[in-house]
Structure 1
Amino acid sequence: MAAGLRTPLPNAVFAHCGSDEYGESSGPVDLGRFFTSIIVVSGFALPIILAHSEVIDPKASVMSIIGGGLVYGTILAYSAAFSQEDSDYE
């Protein structure tokens, strides 16, 4: 669950670096997305690897993946809801 809480941090830090006038992303924005993808993938892959190596119980792995998915899904839904409202006012 700690990885789920850190997930939006790279996007939040690099999101204000902006994009060019044609809507293409800049390097820092892409770097933030890259760091976010690493955190998200490791949040789902690490419990599977630990369960496979019998460090944790497979049930704990499933619960960790479900919990991480819920946290990340909530963050995405919250971001989408507020970015959609901002675009309506422009």
Structure 2
Amino acid sequence: MAGIKALVGLSFSGAIGLTFLLLSCALEQYGVYWPLFVLFFYVLAPIPTFISRRLSDDSDVASNACRELAYFLTTGIVVSAFALPIIMARRAVIQLGACGLVMAGNIVIFVTILGFFLGFGGGDDFS
């Protein structure tokens, strides 16, 4: 039952994050859809971690090179997701209010992705 509550909570927080992102695009005073490019980063962020968990063995080694590379790539993707709206706001492609809504959506979505990995990524049934 705890897994269902966690899944419902994660889906609710994901919906809130996407609502922030869509508000940054669809509100009448902003009116441009350039912030939707952040969706690519939402899709790309968990991929290195999924691949590293699939490829790496679960030994007791303190540092696993594959997992460290995955953390590095994920960090680069997350930083890029925060940098893109800032650059667009500096170049006057989007307004500062839209940039703030995208930042709020980024925080909520990436905390949701982190919550998924902490809640459901602990162990497999086969280990």
Would the TM-score normalized by the shorter structure come out above 0.5?
Answer: yes
TM-score by length of structure 1 reads 0.79
List, as ranges, runs of 4+ consecutive aligned residues in structure 1 with deviation greater than 3 Å: 19-23
* Larger Cα-atom Rg: 2
Offset at residue 6 of structure 1 (A): 1.8
Question: Match of 1:55, SS?
Answer: coil
User: Residues 48 and 69 (structure 1 numbering): CA distance in 2 closer, same or farther, change over 3 Å?
Assistant: same
Q: Which of 96, 107, 112 matches 1:74?
A: 112
Unaligned runs of at least 5 residues, structure 1: none
Query: Which is helix-richer, 1 or 2?
Result: 1
Comparing 17-26 and 31-40, the one that deviates more:
17-26
- Kindly report which structure 2 residues correspond to 1:43-82, keeping only aligned pairs within 5 A, or say none: 43-82=81-120
Higher relative contact order (CA 8 A, sep 6+): 2
* Shift, 1:79, TM fit: 1.7
Counterparts in 2 of 1:31 and 1:48: CA distance versus 1, 3 Å: same
Structure 2 gaps, min length 5? 1-37
How far, CA to CA, are the matches of 1:83 and 1:22 in structure 2?
Answer: 17
- For the aligned residue pairs, the C-alpha RMSD in angstroms reads 2.2
